[in-house]
Homo-oligomer: A and B are copies of this chain.
Protein backbone atom coordinates (compact mmCIF):
# COMPACT_ATOMS: atom_id res chain seq x y z
CA UNK A 1 0.00 0.00 0.00
CA UNK A 2 1.19 3.43 -0.85
CA UNK A 3 0.15 4.95 2.42
CA UNK A 4 3.37 6.95 2.74
CA UNK A 5 3.03 8.33 -0.77
CA UNK A 6 -0.60 9.20 -0.04
CA UNK A 7 0.35 11.01 3.14
CA UNK A 8 3.07 12.94 1.34
CA UNK A 9 0.49 14.15 -1.19
CA UNK A 10 -1.99 15.02 1.56
CA UNK A 11 0.72 17.00 3.40
CA UNK A 12 1.25 19.08 0.29
CA UNK A 13 -2.48 19.52 -0.07
CA UNK A 14 -3.44 20.22 3.53
CA UNK A 15 -0.21 21.30 5.23
CA UNK A 16 -0.60 21.09 8.99
CA UNK A 17 -4.14 19.81 8.60
CA UNK A 18 -2.68 16.37 7.82
CA UNK A 19 -1.48 15.10 11.18
CA UNK A 20 0.57 12.05 12.26
CA UNK A 21 1.18 12.82 15.95
CA UNK A 22 0.78 9.79 18.19
CA UNK A 23 -1.79 11.56 20.36
CA UNK A 24 -3.95 12.51 17.39
CA UNK A 25 -3.73 9.03 15.85
CA UNK A 26 -4.70 7.39 19.13
CA UNK A 27 -7.55 9.83 19.69
CA UNK A 28 -8.92 8.77 16.29
CA UNK A 29 -8.33 5.08 16.89
CA UNK A 30 -10.35 4.72 20.05
CA UNK A 31 -13.90 3.64 20.68
CA UNK A 32 -16.44 4.30 23.39
CA UNK A 33 -17.14 0.60 23.78
CA UNK A 34 -15.00 -2.52 24.10
CA UNK A 35 -12.99 -2.47 20.85
CA UNK A 36 -9.20 -2.21 21.06
CA UNK A 37 -7.31 0.85 19.85
CA UNK A 38 -7.04 0.92 16.03
CA UNK A 39 -5.39 4.17 14.93
CA UNK A 40 -5.26 5.43 11.34
CA UNK A 41 -1.96 6.26 9.62
CA UNK A 42 -2.84 9.95 9.44
CA UNK A 43 -5.67 12.27 10.39
CA UNK A 44 -6.86 14.94 7.96
CA UNK A 45 -8.94 18.02 8.76
CA UNK A 46 -10.56 19.17 5.51
CA UNK A 47 -12.33 22.52 5.37
CA UNK A 48 -14.35 22.02 2.18
CA UNK A 49 -16.02 19.40 0.04
CA UNK A 50 -13.34 19.94 -2.59
CA UNK A 51 -10.65 19.06 -0.09
CA UNK A 52 -12.56 15.91 0.88
CA UNK A 53 -12.76 14.99 -2.81
CA UNK A 54 -9.00 15.50 -3.16
CA UNK A 55 -8.31 13.37 -0.09
CA UNK A 56 -10.44 10.53 -1.48
CA UNK A 57 -8.85 10.86 -4.94
CA UNK A 58 -5.43 10.60 -3.34
CA UNK A 59 -6.44 7.55 -1.33
CA UNK A 60 -7.98 5.93 -4.42
CA UNK A 61 -4.78 6.47 -6.38
CA UNK A 62 -2.72 4.76 -3.68
CA UNK A 63 -5.36 2.16 -2.63
CA UNK A 64 -5.43 3.49 0.94
CA UNK A 65 -8.46 3.15 3.26
CA UNK A 66 -10.52 6.27 4.01
CA UNK A 67 -12.47 6.46 7.27
CA UNK A 68 -14.81 9.32 8.23
CA UNK A 69 -14.79 10.74 11.77
CA UNK A 70 -17.43 12.89 13.45
CA UNK A 71 -17.25 12.96 17.23
CA UNK A 72 -16.09 9.39 17.82
CA UNK A 73 -19.25 8.42 19.69
CA UNK A 74 -20.27 5.42 17.59
CA UNK A 75 -20.53 2.20 19.56
CA UNK A 76 -19.69 -0.57 17.07
CA UNK A 77 -16.21 0.51 16.01
CA UNK A 78 -17.52 2.25 12.87
CA UNK A 79 -14.89 5.00 12.89
CA UNK A 80 -11.87 2.94 13.93
CA UNK A 81 -9.10 2.22 11.42
CA UNK A 82 -8.71 -1.54 11.78
CA UNK A 83 -6.84 -1.64 8.43
CA UNK A 84 -5.05 1.68 8.95
CA UNK A 85 -5.48 4.42 6.36
CA UNK A 86 -6.54 8.05 6.36
CA UNK A 87 -9.02 9.38 8.89
CA UNK A 88 -11.14 12.29 7.60
CA UNK A 89 -12.09 14.35 10.66
CA UNK A 90 -15.03 16.64 9.82
CA UNK A 91 -14.68 18.94 12.82
CA UNK A 92 -13.70 21.90 10.64
CA UNK A 93 -16.74 21.42 8.42
CA UNK A 94 -19.35 22.37 10.99
CA UNK A 95 -21.29 25.26 9.47
CA UNK A 96 -24.97 25.80 8.80
CA UNK A 97 -24.95 26.39 5.03
CA UNK A 98 -28.54 27.57 4.55
CA UNK A 99 -31.56 27.71 6.81
CA UNK A 100 -34.96 27.70 5.07
CA UNK A 101 -37.35 28.44 7.90
CA UNK A 102 -40.36 28.70 5.55
CA UNK A 103 -39.76 25.17 4.28
CA UNK A 104 -38.59 23.87 7.64
CA UNK A 105 -35.32 22.53 6.29
CA UNK A 106 -31.65 23.30 6.79
CA UNK A 107 -28.44 22.48 4.90
CA UNK A 108 -25.52 21.71 7.19
CA UNK A 109 -21.98 20.44 7.01
CA UNK A 110 -21.38 16.99 8.48
CA UNK A 111 -19.21 18.10 11.40
CA UNK A 112 -21.97 20.18 12.98
CA UNK A 113 -23.28 18.52 16.13
CA UNK A 114 -26.96 18.13 16.86
CA UNK A 115 -26.74 20.33 19.96
CA UNK A 116 -24.95 23.09 18.06
CA UNK A 117 -27.67 22.94 15.40
CA UNK A 118 -30.45 23.14 17.96
CA UNK A 119 -28.75 26.01 19.76
CA UNK A 120 -28.57 27.91 16.47
CA UNK A 121 -32.24 27.15 15.77
CA UNK A 122 -33.49 28.28 19.17
CA UNK A 123 -34.87 31.63 18.02
CA UNK A 124 -36.54 30.24 14.90
CA UNK A 125 -39.31 28.19 16.50
CA UNK A 126 -37.87 25.11 14.81
CA UNK A 127 -35.77 22.20 16.04
CA UNK A 128 -34.05 19.05 14.83
CA UNK A 129 -35.51 16.15 16.79
CA UNK A 130 -33.24 13.13 16.37
CA UNK A 131 -31.52 12.56 19.69
CA UNK A 132 -29.20 9.59 20.16
CA UNK A 133 -28.01 10.84 23.55
CA UNK A 134 -24.43 11.70 22.66
CA UNK A 135 -23.83 15.12 21.14
CA UNK A 136 -22.88 13.43 17.89
CA UNK A 137 -22.09 15.06 14.57
CA UNK A 138 -24.95 15.12 12.08
CA UNK A 139 -22.82 13.44 9.41
CA UNK A 140 -22.03 10.62 11.80
CA UNK A 141 -25.66 10.34 12.84
CA UNK A 142 -26.70 10.02 9.19
CA UNK A 143 -23.97 7.48 8.48
CA UNK A 144 -25.08 5.21 11.32
CA UNK A 145 -28.81 5.86 10.76
CA UNK A 146 -29.02 7.10 14.34
CA UNK A 147 -32.24 7.44 16.26
CA UNK A 148 -32.92 7.61 20.00
CA UNK A 149 -35.29 8.98 22.58
CA UNK A 150 -37.57 10.99 20.25
CA UNK A 151 -37.83 8.48 17.41
CA UNK A 152 -41.17 7.16 18.62
CA UNK A 153 -42.58 10.53 17.51
CA UNK A 154 -40.20 12.05 14.97
CA UNK A 155 -38.51 9.08 13.27
CA UNK A 156 -34.87 8.16 12.69
CA UNK A 157 -32.21 9.86 10.58
CA UNK A 158 -33.67 7.97 7.61
CA UNK A 159 -36.88 9.96 8.05
CA UNK A 160 -35.20 13.31 8.65
CA UNK A 161 -32.48 13.49 5.99
CA UNK A 162 -33.95 14.91 2.78
CA UNK A 163 -30.80 15.03 0.70
CA UNK A 164 -27.04 14.69 0.78
CA UNK A 165 -23.87 15.80 -0.87
CA UNK A 166 -21.52 12.82 -1.05
CA UNK A 167 -17.94 12.32 -2.18
CA UNK A 168 -17.87 8.95 -3.94
CA UNK A 169 -15.07 6.41 -3.76
CA UNK A 170 -13.47 7.89 -6.91
CA UNK A 171 -13.59 11.36 -5.36
CA UNK A 172 -16.52 12.62 -7.42
CA UNK A 173 -19.02 14.98 -5.76
CA UNK A 174 -22.68 14.02 -6.16
CA UNK A 175 -25.95 15.33 -4.77
CA UNK A 176 -28.91 13.18 -3.78
CA UNK A 177 -32.49 14.23 -3.04
CA UNK A 178 -34.06 17.64 -3.36
CA UNK A 179 -35.70 20.19 -1.09
CA UNK A 180 -39.16 18.99 -2.14
CA UNK A 181 -41.01 17.06 0.57
CA UNK A 182 -41.23 13.97 -1.61
CA UNK A 183 -39.95 12.68 -4.93
CA UNK A 184 -40.46 9.59 -7.09
CA UNK A 185 -37.42 10.35 -9.20
CA UNK A 186 -35.11 7.35 -9.37
CA UNK A 187 -33.43 5.20 -6.74
CA UNK A 188 -33.46 6.55 -3.21
CA UNK A 189 -29.73 7.20 -2.99
CA UNK A 190 -30.24 9.40 0.05
CA UNK A 191 -31.66 6.40 1.87
CA UNK A 192 -28.82 4.23 0.58
CA UNK A 193 -26.06 6.48 1.98
CA UNK A 194 -27.90 7.00 5.29
CA UNK A 195 -26.82 4.03 7.40
CA UNK A 196 -24.00 3.01 5.04
CA UNK A 197 -21.40 3.89 7.72
CA UNK A 198 -19.10 5.56 5.24
CA UNK A 199 -18.63 2.35 3.25
CA UNK A 200 -20.09 3.83 0.03
CA UNK A 201 -18.80 7.40 0.18
CA UNK A 202 -18.30 10.32 2.54
CA UNK A 203 -21.20 12.64 3.39
CA UNK A 204 -20.05 16.25 2.97
CA UNK A 205 -23.38 18.06 3.34
CA UNK A 206 -26.88 17.19 4.60
CA UNK A 207 -30.30 18.71 4.03
CA UNK A 208 -32.32 18.02 7.16
CA UNK A 209 -36.01 18.21 7.88
CA UNK A 210 -36.86 20.47 10.82
CA UNK A 211 -39.94 20.43 13.02
CA UNK A 212 -41.89 23.17 14.78
CA UNK A 213 -41.07 23.55 18.46
CA UNK A 214 -44.17 22.28 20.24
CA UNK A 215 -46.41 24.82 21.93
CA UNK A 216 -46.34 22.77 25.13
CA UNK A 217 -43.86 20.20 26.48
CA UNK A 218 -44.28 18.14 29.58
CA UNK A 219 -41.95 15.45 30.89
CA UNK A 220 -42.70 12.86 33.52
CA UNK A 221 -41.35 9.86 35.39
CA UNK A 222 -43.39 6.91 36.52
CA UNK A 223 -42.25 4.01 38.73
CA UNK A 224 -43.46 0.43 38.33
CA UNK A 225 -43.17 -2.60 40.60
CA UNK A 226 -41.91 -4.78 37.77
CA UNK A 227 -40.28 -4.31 34.38
CA UNK A 228 -43.10 -6.26 32.83
CA UNK A 229 -45.66 -3.83 34.30
CA UNK A 230 -43.74 -0.94 32.74
CA UNK A 231 -43.45 -2.70 29.40
CA UNK A 232 -47.14 -3.60 29.37
CA UNK A 233 -47.94 0.09 29.88
CA UNK A 234 -45.68 0.95 26.93
CA UNK A 235 -47.32 -1.64 24.69
CA UNK A 236 -50.81 -0.35 25.52
CA UNK A 237 -49.70 3.24 24.96
CA UNK A 238 -48.24 2.54 21.54
CA UNK A 239 -51.07 0.28 20.45
CA UNK A 240 -53.58 3.00 21.41
CA UNK A 241 -51.69 5.41 19.16
CA UNK A 242 -50.96 7.95 21.92
CA UNK A 243 -48.58 10.47 20.33
CA UNK A 244 -45.73 10.13 22.84
CA UNK A 245 -42.65 12.26 22.15
CA UNK A 246 -40.45 10.08 24.36
CA UNK A 247 -41.06 6.86 26.27
CA UNK A 248 -37.98 5.33 27.86
CA UNK A 249 -37.42 2.39 30.19
CA UNK A 250 -34.81 2.01 32.92
CA UNK A 251 -34.62 -1.17 35.01
CA UNK A 252 -33.68 -1.18 38.70
CA UNK A 253 -29.95 -1.53 38.06
CA UNK A 254 -30.03 1.42 35.65
CA UNK A 255 -31.98 3.51 38.16
CA UNK A 256 -29.41 2.74 40.87
CA UNK A 257 -26.61 3.74 38.52
CA UNK A 258 -28.13 7.07 37.50
CA UNK A 259 -29.07 7.90 41.08
CA UNK A 260 -25.43 7.47 42.07
CA UNK A 261 -23.96 9.20 38.99
CA UNK A 262 -26.38 12.11 38.54
CA UNK A 263 -27.40 12.67 42.16
CA UNK A 264 -31.00 11.72 41.50
CA UNK A 265 -33.32 10.22 44.09
CA UNK A 266 -35.57 7.99 42.04
CA UNK A 267 -37.15 5.10 43.97
CA UNK A 268 -35.20 1.90 43.31
CA UNK A 269 -37.81 0.47 40.96
CA UNK A 270 -38.15 0.12 37.17
CA UNK A 271 -39.11 3.48 35.66
CA UNK A 272 -40.55 4.93 32.52
CA UNK A 273 -39.35 8.41 31.52
CA UNK A 274 -41.82 10.23 29.32
CA UNK A 275 -42.29 13.38 27.31
CA UNK A 276 -45.40 14.84 25.72
CA UNK A 277 -45.36 17.42 22.90
CA UNK A 278 -48.33 19.29 21.50
CA UNK A 279 -50.85 22.00 22.19
CA UNK A 280 -51.64 22.73 25.86
CA UNK A 281 -54.85 20.74 25.62
CA UNK A 282 -53.24 17.96 23.58
CA UNK A 283 -50.44 17.48 26.13
CA UNK A 284 -52.93 17.47 29.00
CA UNK A 285 -55.16 14.93 27.23
CA UNK A 286 -52.23 12.69 26.35
CA UNK A 287 -50.63 12.69 29.79
CA UNK A 288 -53.95 12.04 31.45
CA UNK A 289 -54.57 9.03 29.23
CA UNK A 290 -51.07 7.77 29.87
CA UNK A 291 -51.61 8.18 33.62
CA UNK A 292 -54.65 5.91 33.42
CA UNK A 293 -52.77 3.27 31.44
CA UNK A 294 -49.87 3.40 33.90
CA UNK A 295 -52.16 2.96 36.88
CA UNK A 296 -53.68 -0.16 35.30
CA UNK A 297 -50.20 -1.70 35.19
CA UNK A 298 -49.12 -0.77 38.71
CA UNK A 299 -47.49 2.56 37.86
CA UNK A 300 -46.98 4.96 40.78
CA UNK A 301 -45.53 8.37 41.48
CA UNK A 302 -46.44 9.61 37.97
CA UNK A 303 -44.96 13.08 38.22
CA UNK A 304 -44.93 15.83 35.61
CA UNK A 305 -42.09 18.25 35.00
CA UNK A 306 -43.29 21.21 32.97
CA UNK A 307 -40.38 23.47 33.94
CA UNK A 308 -37.64 23.53 31.37
CA UNK A 309 -34.81 23.05 33.90
CA UNK A 310 -36.46 19.98 35.43
CA UNK A 311 -36.86 18.46 31.98
CA UNK A 312 -33.24 19.22 31.18
CA UNK A 313 -32.12 17.51 34.40
CA UNK A 314 -34.22 14.47 33.56
CA UNK A 315 -32.93 14.02 30.01
CA UNK A 316 -29.36 14.83 30.95
CA UNK A 317 -29.62 12.03 33.49
CA UNK A 318 -31.00 9.73 30.77
CA UNK A 319 -28.30 10.71 28.30
CA UNK A 320 -25.61 10.05 30.88
CA UNK A 321 -27.06 6.67 31.79
CA UNK A 322 -24.45 4.86 29.69
CA UNK A 323 -21.63 6.57 31.59
CA UNK A 324 -23.51 6.08 34.88
CA UNK A 325 -23.73 2.35 34.22
CA UNK A 326 -20.05 2.18 33.25
CA UNK A 327 -19.20 4.04 36.48
CA UNK A 328 -21.18 1.51 38.49
CA UNK A 329 -18.31 -0.91 37.93
CA UNK A 330 -15.04 1.02 38.00
CA UNK A 331 -12.57 -0.02 35.32
CA UNK A 332 -15.14 -1.94 33.34
CA UNK A 333 -15.62 -1.77 29.57
CA UNK A 334 -19.04 -2.20 27.99
CA UNK A 335 -20.42 -4.52 25.35
CA UNK A 336 -23.50 -2.58 24.30
CA UNK A 337 -26.42 -4.57 22.96
CA UNK A 338 -29.09 -2.91 20.87
CA UNK A 339 -31.89 -5.20 19.78
CA UNK A 340 -35.24 -3.98 18.48
CA UNK A 341 -38.38 -6.14 18.23
CA UNK A 342 -42.01 -5.67 17.22
CA UNK A 343 -43.80 -3.95 20.09
CA UNK A 344 -45.99 -6.99 20.82
CA UNK A 345 -42.83 -9.02 21.56
CA UNK A 346 -41.16 -6.42 23.77
CA UNK A 347 -42.17 -7.87 27.14
CA UNK A 348 -41.01 -11.33 26.10
CA UNK A 349 -37.71 -10.03 24.71
CA UNK A 350 -36.86 -8.03 27.83
CA UNK A 351 -37.98 -10.75 30.22
CA UNK A 352 -36.00 -13.50 28.52
CA UNK A 353 -32.96 -11.24 28.28
CA UNK A 354 -33.03 -10.37 31.97
CA UNK A 355 -33.36 -14.02 32.96
CA UNK A 356 -30.61 -15.07 30.58
CA UNK A 357 -28.20 -12.45 31.94
CA UNK A 358 -28.94 -13.47 35.49
CA UNK A 359 -28.50 -17.14 34.70
CA UNK A 360 -25.20 -16.55 32.94
CA UNK A 361 -23.84 -14.23 35.63
CA UNK A 362 -23.39 -11.28 33.29
CA UNK A 363 -23.92 -7.82 34.79
CA UNK A 364 -26.14 -5.94 32.32
CA UNK A 365 -28.51 -3.14 33.30
CA UNK A 366 -31.35 -2.77 30.76
CA UNK A 367 -32.70 0.47 29.39
CA UNK A 368 -33.98 1.73 26.09
CA UNK A 369 -36.31 3.40 23.68
CA UNK A 370 -39.13 1.04 24.38
CA UNK A 371 -41.72 2.93 22.36
CA UNK A 372 -39.90 1.67 19.27
CA UNK A 373 -39.35 -1.81 20.72
CA UNK A 374 -35.63 -0.99 21.07
CA UNK A 375 -33.61 -1.67 24.20
CA UNK A 376 -30.03 -2.08 25.38
CA UNK A 377 -28.41 -4.28 27.98
CA UNK A 378 -25.09 -2.65 28.87
CA UNK A 379 -22.91 -5.70 29.51
CA UNK A 380 -20.10 -4.74 31.90
CA UNK A 381 -16.88 -6.69 31.63
CA UNK A 382 -13.49 -6.60 33.27
CA UNK A 383 -11.22 -5.85 30.30
CA UNK A 384 -8.61 -8.22 31.78
CA UNK A 385 -10.97 -11.17 31.99
CA UNK A 386 -11.44 -13.12 28.80
CA UNK A 387 -13.92 -15.37 30.61
CA UNK A 388 -16.16 -12.37 31.31
CA UNK A 389 -15.80 -11.14 27.75
CA UNK A 390 -16.69 -14.57 26.39
CA UNK A 391 -19.74 -14.88 28.63
CA UNK A 392 -20.93 -11.38 27.66
CA UNK A 393 -20.36 -11.95 23.95
CA UNK A 394 -22.29 -15.21 24.15
CA UNK A 395 -25.17 -13.48 25.97
CA UNK A 396 -25.09 -10.70 23.38
CA UNK A 397 -25.33 -13.30 20.62
CA UNK A 398 -28.30 -14.95 22.30
CA UNK A 399 -30.02 -11.54 22.50
CA UNK A 400 -29.63 -11.15 18.76
CA UNK A 401 -30.93 -14.66 18.08
CA UNK A 402 -33.89 -13.88 20.31
CA UNK A 403 -34.59 -10.61 18.47
CA UNK A 404 -34.39 -12.25 15.05
CA UNK A 405 -36.64 -15.08 16.20
CA UNK A 406 -39.23 -12.50 17.25
CA UNK A 407 -39.15 -10.71 13.88
CA UNK A 408 -36.72 -8.02 15.01
CA UNK A 409 -33.21 -6.77 14.27
CA UNK A 410 -29.72 -7.09 15.73
CA UNK A 411 -29.41 -3.34 15.97
CA UNK A 412 -32.09 -0.72 16.39
CA UNK A 413 -29.76 2.25 16.21
CA UNK A 414 -26.07 1.58 16.85
CA UNK A 415 -25.37 0.04 13.46
CA UNK A 416 -23.03 -2.72 12.36
CA UNK A 417 -19.44 -1.48 12.17
CA UNK A 418 -17.40 -4.51 13.19
CA UNK A 419 -19.34 -5.21 16.38
CA UNK A 420 -22.45 -6.67 14.77
CA UNK A 421 -20.85 -7.99 11.59
CA UNK A 422 -21.11 -11.57 12.82
CA UNK A 423 -24.91 -11.36 12.82
CA UNK A 424 -25.43 -9.98 9.31
CA UNK A 425 -25.84 -13.32 7.59
CA UNK A 426 -28.32 -14.52 10.20
CA UNK A 427 -30.39 -11.35 9.89
CA UNK A 428 -30.26 -10.77 6.15
CA UNK A 429 -29.52 -14.13 4.52
CA UNK A 430 -28.88 -13.69 0.80
CA UNK A 431 -29.76 -9.99 1.04
CA UNK A 432 -26.36 -9.50 2.68
CA UNK A 433 -24.73 -10.56 -0.59
CA UNK A 434 -26.87 -7.95 -2.38
CA UNK A 435 -25.42 -5.34 0.01
CA UNK A 436 -21.99 -6.64 -0.96
CA UNK A 437 -22.82 -6.20 -4.65
CA UNK A 438 -23.90 -2.59 -4.04
CA UNK A 439 -20.68 -1.98 -2.14
CA UNK A 440 -18.53 -3.43 -4.92
CA UNK A 441 -20.36 -1.33 -7.51
CA UNK A 442 -19.93 1.94 -5.62
CA UNK A 443 -16.49 1.24 -4.15
CA UNK A 444 -14.73 -1.11 -6.55
CA UNK A 445 -11.33 -0.56 -4.91
CA UNK A 446 -12.70 -1.31 -1.46
CA UNK A 447 -11.14 1.77 0.14
CA UNK A 448 -14.19 3.26 1.88
CA UNK A 449 -14.15 2.22 5.55
CA UNK A 450 -13.07 -1.34 4.73
CA UNK A 451 -13.91 -4.27 6.97
CA UNK A 452 -17.25 -2.84 8.09
CA UNK A 453 -20.88 -3.77 7.38
CA UNK A 454 -20.57 -5.82 4.14
CA UNK A 455 -19.32 -9.38 3.57
CA UNK A 456 -15.55 -9.75 3.04
CA UNK A 457 -14.66 -9.88 -0.66
CA UNK A 458 -13.39 -13.11 -2.11
Contact = CB atoms under 8 A, between A and B. Distances in A.
Contact of A183 (B281, B340, B431): B340
A337 interface: no
Nearest to A194: B188
Contacts of A240: 212
B196 A102 contact: no
Contact of A429 (B144, B175, B184, B403): B175
Interface residues of A, number: 86
Given A176-B431, A189-B435, A340 B181 contact: yes
B373 A104 contact: no
A431 B166 CA distance: 9
Contacts of A374: 180-182
Interface in A362-396: 372-374
A187 B453 CA distance: 8
Contacts of A174: 428-431, 434
A114 interface: no
Tell me how many chains of this kind the complex includes.
2
A286 to B, nearest CB: 10
A85 to B, nearest CB: 21
A191 B199 CA distance: 17
Contacts of A432: 186
Nearest to A439: B187
A212 B103 CA distance: 28
Given A146-B184, A180-B340, A442 B438 contact: yes
A184 B412 contact: yes
A412 B195 contact: no
A241 interface: yes
A344 B414 contact: no
A136 to B, nearest CB: 13
A429 B165 CA distance: 12
A179 B342 contact: yes
Contacts of A435: 186-187, 189
A342 B176 contact: no
A194 B184 CA distance: 10
Interface stretch (A151-159, A247-255, A292-300, A326-334): A151-159
Contacts of A404: 178
Contact of A158 (B188, B279, B420, B428): B188
Contact of A424 (B185, B415, B428): B185
A162 to B, nearest CB: 10
A192 interface: yes
A198 interface: no
A233 to B, nearest CB: 15
A411 interface: yes
A424 B342 CA distance: 38
Given A185-B410, A186-B453, A442 B431 contact: no
Contact of A103 (B104, B158, B342, B438): B342
A163 to B, nearest CB: 9
Given A179-B408, A434-B168, A344 B100 contact: yes
Contact of A102 (B200, B239, B440): B239
A147 interface: yes
A173 B146 CA distance: 29
Nearest to A165: B431
9 contacts: A102-B342, A102-B343, A103-B343, A180-B341, A180-B407, A182-B340, A184-B195, A185-B424, A186-B435
**What are the 7 closest A-B residue pairs judged by CB atoms, nearest first?**
A441-B441, A191-B191, A179-B407, A102-B344, A183-B409, A180-B340, A212-B241
